[in-house]
Structure 1
Amino acid sequence: MVQTSNPHHHHNNDHKTLVLKSAIYSRILLISLIIFFRTLASPYDTSASLNPPCLTTTVAATPNNTHRSPIASAIENGIVWDSVYFVRSAQCGYEYEQSYAFLPLLPLSISFLSPSILSSLLPQRSLFALSAYLINNLAFVLAALYFYRLSIAILKDPEIALRATVLFCFNPASIFYSSIYSESLYAVLSLGGLYYFVSGKNNLSVLLLALSGCARSNGVLNAGYICFQTMHRGYHALFHNKNVTLALQIAVVGALRSICIFAPFVAFQAYGYYNMCVGRFPDERRPWCNARIPLLYNYIQSHYWNVGFLRYFQLKQLPNFLLASPILSLAFYSVVHYAKSRPQIFYSLGFDTTIEEKSCGVVFLSEDLLRSKVAGTVEKSSVRAEGGGRT
């Protein structure tokens, strides 16, 4: 018996191979450019040399006057800006109040995955930085693969999905995905969670989306996908199927899943409160400890970096807005184009549309639509049977 090959399967494999190559080649290109430009000019931020000893006695940071090899120096020169906090937290734990603005997933990953076999060749700080580079670049490659799979699931067009993924690999902000930042871990967990979300694997989706909240604070916003789906399914169960019990069940499950996504961020805030507030004399307590809702993250952002609602909108930030104008313009045009092409769906938030259209997105999956049609058929049959019995 001769087996025929599936051209679609081979086509999909070719695309995945191209996505993998694009992700790897883009990382090699970016790291090469970073090394090249750092040899031409010293970095604007000089915080890489700041490495005081850890406050705890169990861990000691490498003193500044210790001789380092050229390789170790080159690696540690990349510890700038926020990278200082991530590496410092991995090495010494959360010592200072402002370090709690940087969530623990990346520091924990660095400390757990640092190859101990290199400890005799590199100082601990260099080893942690090297581990961070490896973790983030590997996470980006996985994020690109999830990006492609998610694009296929939503767009239903392999060619457009491939182009979007290649643009993702070579996007202008790509340096953050290859530096010691939390963007790569957040991207792979968020994109992976959304892929499993649209695939109907809700438990795995919630797990990954919850972990994204351990990488970056905006991971809690991923609960919005669960809330949106819950609203539509609850609305359909209540007003179309006339099933109050099912609507309540959907609401409870959606609330529990949303709580799971919020839980890591809330737990880390509680951890900060315990370390910084509990057991201290009143004159030692920080102002945020006495707030009605003692949220450490908001206080740090406001107190140390003047981050708050609309505070970024200043005249001196105009060059940054000009740099961001191309992608902002593209995003604005995309929203306007969708609103004009499908105004009924856009302005009703998807409520004023058919269940067939909802099944094309993440509100209902194919099996949900099938169950809904079966339930409707059974209900109509029961009504006919009762009507026939009365005549």
Structure 2
Amino acid sequence: MNAFNLGAKGRHAQLVAIFCLWKLLLLSLAAFCPGSGYDTSGLILLDTSARRHVKLDVTSRYERFILNMLRWDALYFVKAAERGHVHEQAWAFSGAYSHLLRLTGQLMAGDAQAPLHYYALAGIMISNICHLLSVLVLYRLLTLVLEPQRRQIIPFIAAVLHILTPASLFMSAPYAEAMFSLLNFAGMLFYAQSQTAAETGMSSIRADFQKLGSGACFAAATLMRSNGLLSGLILLYDVVMYIAPVMSAQLSIQDVRRMLVTCMAGSLIALAFLGPQYLAYTEFCDRSSGTGTRPWCDKTFPSIYSWVQSHYW
């Protein structure tokens, strides 16, 4: 049977099947990849003994899998899940995502002091679940916004390409990318649904909640990665479109309500971006402590994100 002639449930089933087969291949490669790799940071974190390299030859397949998935940014996310943001450069990595890893890892271990590998496993599970959900949300989004004659092919192909993305292994590791993808697509879906509801004359209350849902998803995505702030441009565009009617006093009561709802949705994104910045400022720029402050604290716009990127990387 042609995949493009199936109903929505059939295409969802096919996408899930393709996703599972692809992830099985990728995760198997990660589990059976030999050696510790040229970057031994993960091995050092998981095994602090001096004989860690000797014991590597007798490690279980599960331990080898966790080790091979613990690379690059995953080191920061997983370590922050264990102890919080201790060092300044750790603030370049989402504290919200690390906190989620901490809660999930502790729940899995049944212990508030869970071993480090539980946080890594929690990140792997969360990333794979979020990647699958983002595939399904992307499919739903495209079936909503495309013309009827293009809905049979393009959404399915786009969703498959999202499964097979070159970043697939990053979307399986303890990285924030998979959750960012899910939240960003969900925000776009809520926004598209609100626009559809407004254009078709459906419940205005429903459209308002969908617009707020869009802002909430974009805000959560911004907590995962600061460039989620750019998603708010679509809401800013809506506000700009209201400027001319405001200046000419031609706005209706419904237009005023929609503009206020859009501003509220955008404010959620701004708060998600500024909140972590404020927390970092209170930690590193407390002049009353007498311990001195960091150089970025005296900038016109003190941003720990830009400072960490320029100073450490």
Greater displacement, 220-229 / 110-119:
110-119
> Do residues 187 (structure 1) and 196 (structure 2) align?
no
Q: Which amino acid in the other structure matches residue 105 of structure 1?
A: A
Give the distance between the partners of 2:100 and 2:88, measured in 1 at CA: 21
1:104 paired to 2:95: yes
Alignment match, 2:23: 27
- CA-to-aligned-CA distance 1:151-175 (integer Å, 9 cap, x gap): 1112241321101111111122222
1:174 has 2:162 as partner: no
Q: Which of the residues 217, 220, 223 maps onto 2:226?
A: 217
Deviations along 1:201-254, one digit per CA (max 9) or x if unpaired, are 11222111111111111111111111122333555x559993376665554433
Distance 2:242 2:28 in 1: 49
Separation (CA, whole Å) in 2 of partners of 1:35 and 1:141: 20
- Between the aligned partners of 1:130 and 1:238, the Cα distance in structure 2 is 52
Instruction: Map Cα deviations across residues 245-285 of structure 1 (whole Å, 9 max, x no partner).
Output: 66655544333321211211211011111112215656631
Kept in 1: contact 2:108–2:118 (CA 8 A): no
Q: CA RMSD in A?
A: 2.9
1:298 has 2:292 as partner: no
Deviation of the 1:46 alpha carbon: 2.2
The aligned residue for residue 193 of structure 2 is 199
2:238 aligned to which of 229, 232, 241? 229
**What is the aligned counterpart of 2:8 among 12, 29, 41?**
12
Q: 2:200 — aligned with what? A: none
Give, in angstroms, the shift of residue 62 of structure 1: 6.7
Query: Which of the residues 136, 155, 159 maps onto 1:145?
Result: 136
CA contact (8 A) 1:209 1:261 kept: yes
Q: Which of 119, 122, 126 pairs up with 1:128?
A: 119
For the 8 Å contact 1:230–1:250, the answer to whether it is kept is no
Question: Contact conserved, 1:277 with 1:289, CA < 8 A, in 2?
Answer: yes
Aligned length: 285
The yes-or-no answer on 1:256 pairing with 2:250 is: no
Q: 2-side partners of 1:282 and 1:112: how far apart?
A: 35
1: CA distance, partners of 2:16 / 2:262 = 35
Of structures 1 and 2, the one with the larger relative CO (CA 8 A, separation 6+) is 2
Q: Is the 8 A contact 2:212 2:264 kept in 1?
A: no
What is the identity, as a one-letter code, of the residue corresponding to 1:48?
G
Shift of 1:118: 4.0
Please list the CA deviations of residues 259-313 of structure 1 after superposition, one character each: whole Å capped at 9, or x if unmatched: 21121121101111111221565663110112222111110011111xxxxxxxx
Cα distance in 2, alignment partners of residues 143 and 288 from structure 1: 36
TM-score normalised to structure 2 length: 0.81
Task: Name stretches of at least 5 consecutive residues in structure 2 with no aligned partner.
Answer: 195-209
1:47 to 32, 36, 41: 41
Distance 1:64 1:264, change over 3 A: farther
Deviates more, 1:143-152 or 1:13-22: 13-22
Structure 1: tracts of 5 or more residues without a match: 1-7, 52-60, 306-391
Deviation per residue, 1:89-120 (Å, 9 max, x gap)? 10000100000001122211111112545469
- Contact 2:184–2:221 (8 Å) recurs in 1: yes
Give SS of 1:178's match: coil
Counterparts of 2:267 and 2:27, CA distance in 1: 38
Cα deviation per residue 1:167-205 (whole Å; 9 max; x = unaligned)? 111122222111121100100101011111101111222
From 254, 272, 294, give the equivalent of 1:286. Answer: 294
Residue in structure 1 matched with residue 202 of structure 2 by the alignment? none
Percent identity between matched residues is 25
1:46-100 deviation per Cα after TM superposition (whole angstroms, max 9, x unaligned):
221343xxxxxxxxx9744598853335413422211111011100001000000
d(CA) in 1 for partners of 2:288, 2:47: 31
8 Å Cα contact 2:239-2:259 kept in structure 1: yes
The worse-fitting range, judged by mean Cα deviation, of 134-143 and 17-26 is 17-26
Q: Which has the larger radius of gyration?
A: 1
